[in-house]
Amino acid sequence: MGTDTREIRVTVNGAPTRSTVPVRLLLSDFLRDVLGLTGTHVGCGQGPCGSCTVLADGDTVRSCLMLAVQADGMEIETIEGVAAADGTPHRIQEAFREHHALQCGFCTPGIVMATVGLLRRTPCPSAAERAELMEGHLCRCTGYRNIDEALAALSGAEPRGEH
């Protein structure tokens, strides 16, 4: 009946948390419902869409495919932690706005988080690396070209000049 619980300690956007959660609670629901961090969106609950992407110890993960108890002891980063503490947008957020890389905004936090992870590992990702990132994300509004342009600009590259 899913009533077993366990205590977990998770650092979220730099702040330590301690909660007792049902063992079947998904990480996405933990972030959204327990911590109130609703910027992480669940678009499919099955994995393919990528909207719920967050960083777990720096790696991009689908928070809808991970249990909260699996995050015990981890550092989780979500969209709420991307801008500076004073609210100044991150350059990724600026680039998405500048290139009109979002419309309804539902898939956007997942793509931004994946981009945070990529640029941290690879400051100037190649077109192939950017394309690989976008293989993991569905967007129904933009037709992707403007997202690709934002990612290219962040990589210091021409949008499609290096195929």
Partner 1 sequence: MAVGLVGTSVRRIEDHRLLTGKACYVADIVLPQMLHMAVVRSTRAHAEIVEIRVDKALAYPGVRLVLTGEDVRHLGPLPCIDLFPDSKPALHRVLALDKVRYVGEPIAVVIADDGYAVEDAAELVEVVYRDLPVVLDLGEAASEAPPALLYPEFDTNVANVCRQEVGDPDAAFTDAAHVFEETFRIHRYAAAPMETRGVVADPTGQGGRITLHTSTQFPHLVRAFLGGVLGIPESDIRVVAPDVGGGFGAKCEFYPEEVISVVAARRLGRPVRWIEGRQEHFVATTHAREQIHTMRAAVDADGIVTAVTLRSLTSNGAAMFTLATTPASISSAMLRGPYRIPNYRAESLSVLTNKTPLAVYRGAGHPQAVLCMELMMDRIARDLGIDRIDLRRRNMLTKGELPSDRGTAIVLAGKVVYDTGDYPGCLDQVLELAGWDDRLRRQAEARGEGRIVGLGVACFVEETAIGPYETGHVRVDGSGKVTVLTGASPHGQGTATAIAQLVAEELQIPIADVTVRHGDTDVVADGVGTFASRGGAIAGAAARLAAHKVREKAVLIASELLEAAAVDVAWVDGRAEIVGVPGRGVTLAEIARRATAWNSLPAGLSSFNLDEVAHHQVPGIAFANAAHVVEVEIDRDTGTVRVLDYAVVHDSGRIINPMIVEGQVHGGIAQGLGGLLMEEIAYDATGRPLVSGFQDYFLPTSAEMPDIRTGFMESPTPLNPYGMKGAGEGGTTGAVGAITGAIADALAPLGIRVAGDGPFTPPAVMALLRARGEGVGA
User: Contact positions toward partner 1, by CB under 8 A?
Assistant: 1-3, 22, 24-25, 29, 32-33, 36-49, 51, 78-80, 82-83, 87, 89, 93, 96-98, 100, 102-109, 112, 131, 134-135, 137-148, 160
What's the CA gap between 163 and 145, in Å, rounded? 14
* Closer residue to partner 1 in complex, CB, 42/55: 42
* Closer residue to partner 1 in complex, CB, 14/73: 14
Reduce the DSSP state of residue 20 to 3 states and report it.
strand
Reduce the DSSP state of residue 153 to 3 states and report it.
helix
Cβ at position 86, least distance to partner 1 in Å: 12
Cβ at position 161, least distance to partner 1 in Å: 12
Cβ at position 69, least distance to partner 1 in Å: 14
Apex 76 CA angle, 129 and 11, nearest 5: 155
Cβ at position 44, least distance to partner 1 in Å: 4
Reduce the DSSP state of residue 149 to 3 states and report it.
helix
What's the CA gap between 6 and 68, in Å, rounded? 10
* Closer residue to partner 1 in complex, CB, 45/157: 45
Burial class from Cβ neighbours inside 10 Å (0-12, 13-18, 19+) for residue 161 reads exposed
* Closer residue to partner 1 in complex, CB, 50/74: 50
